[in-house]
């Protein structure tokens, strides 16, 4: 028998999955899941509860077997060479992996030593990561006293002990307050800037909008839409200009004025005195609207340019509801 050789990584893409299937009894967690992530990017994987995000991550990181389809990580087949895949990835799950009884430094040294790094190099690596993630001042404190954001940063730092080619972040900011989320976001940005490809699964649409250059939307175990955030937003239409008319008795006049300025039909919400018009280039349209309103002597309480959000895209694509088939991994938790 020819001995199995350790495969060499290829150049692109960092992650490729085609037709992945995973069943738990009669429940289908992945139903033809396709995904491609380019090297050196942050890619967002979005979906409602039960869409299959966690199962997809577990399959791609060799934590669960795939029933069908193919998956390649850094050019290496996940099913044929799981050990080689594990050497090239980092994973931050939904729950903290660090030991609360140890200090931040002890945790990182422990992870490094378990990865086969010498004691001296482990200490040096721990110091470098503590500095990179702004944890040096708390390095010798027990993790039990850390805030949620600090623990999350330490989790990410631990996953980078071996500088993985791909880092999987599964719901990394669940349960964090706004400040904690912001600190984790910055850590993710710095990780990607250092060259690590990041696959981010999240239910927070603003998180994907902030961090990801491309996003894939999952529902019922498969990807139903993929592209840059701005491209997905454009599927719902162009920019919208909203004007809140100061004098409610002049709304119809405002509709005519805004219509002349934009050449488009406007809609009205009489309860809020808001006139809305969809425009192709909102930034260029604002000035003519302001001039026309001023010439007509029409005062407004607010005039704003609104763009479709990822939240609106998400609700449009998924119907505003979670998948009917629960993700068995999440359900078991």
Q: What share of the chain is helix, strand, coil (3-state, %, to 5)?
A: 40, 25, 35
d(CA 74, CA 57): 15
- The answer on pLDDT for 331 being more than 60 is no
116-125: pLDDT as tens digits = 899 999 999 9
255-289: pLDDT as tens digits = 999 888 888 888 889 899 999 888 776 677 788 88
Domains and CATH numbers, the chain: 15-88+164-233+319-332 (3.40.50.300), 238-307 (3.30.70.100)
> Has this prediction a pTM greater than 0.75?
no
Question: What SS3 class is residue 121?
Answer: helix
27-56: pLDDT as tens digits = 999 999 999 999 999 999 998 888 899 999
User: 255 near 82, Cβ under 8 Å?
Assistant: no
For residue 241, what is the enclosing H or E element?
strand 239-245
Banded pLDDT at 247 (limits 50, 70, 90):
very high
Q: Any bridge partners for residue 274, and if so which?
A: 244, 269
d(CA 211, CA 264): 34
- The answer on pLDDT for 321 being more than 70 is no
81-97: pLDDT as tens digits = 999 999 999 998 777 78
178-205: pLDDT as tens digits = 887 888 888 889 889 989 999 999 878 8
């Amino acid at each position: 028998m020819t001995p199995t050789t350790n495969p060499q990584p290829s150049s692109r893409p960092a992650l490729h999955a085609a037709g992945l299937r995973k069943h738990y009894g009669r429940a289908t967690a992945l139903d033809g899941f396709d995904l491609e992530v380019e090297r050196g990017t942050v890619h967002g994987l979005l979906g409602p509860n039960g869409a299959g995000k966690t199962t997809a991550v577990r399959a791609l990181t060799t934590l669960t077997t795939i029933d069908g389809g193919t998956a390649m990580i850094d050019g290496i087949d996940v099913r044929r060479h799981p050990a080689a895949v594990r050497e090239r990835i980092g994973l931050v799950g939904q729950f903290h992996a660090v030991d609360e009884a140890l200090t931040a430094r002890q945790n990182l040294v422990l992870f490094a030593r378990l990865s086969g790094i010498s004691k001296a190099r482990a200490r040096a690596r721990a110091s470098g990561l503590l500095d990179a993630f702004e944890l040096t001042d708390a390095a010798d404190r027990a993790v039990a006293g850390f805030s949620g954001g600090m623990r999350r940063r330490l989790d990410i730092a631990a996953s980078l002990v071996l500088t993985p080619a791909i880092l999987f972040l599964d719901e990394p900011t669940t349960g964090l307050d706004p400040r904690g989320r912001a600190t984790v976001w910055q850590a993710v940005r710095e990780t990607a800037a250092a060259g690590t490809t990041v696959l981010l699964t999240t239910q927070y649409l603003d998180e994907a909008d902030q961090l990801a250059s491309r996003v894939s939307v999952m529902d019922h175990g498969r990807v139903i839409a993929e592209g840059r955030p701005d491209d997905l937003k454009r599927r719902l239409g162009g920019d919208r200009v909203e004007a809140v008319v100061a004098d409610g008795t002049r709304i119809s006049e405002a509709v005519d004025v805004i219509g002349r300025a934009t050449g488009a039909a406007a809609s009205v919400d009489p309860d809020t005195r808001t006139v809305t018009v969809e425009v192709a280039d909102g930034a260029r349209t604002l000035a003519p609207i302001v001039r026309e309103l001023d010439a007509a002597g029409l005062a407004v309480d607010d005039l704003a340019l609104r763009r479709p959000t990822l939240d609106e895209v998400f609700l449009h694509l998924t119907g505003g509801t979670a998948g009917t088939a629960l993700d068995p991994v999440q359900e078991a938790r």
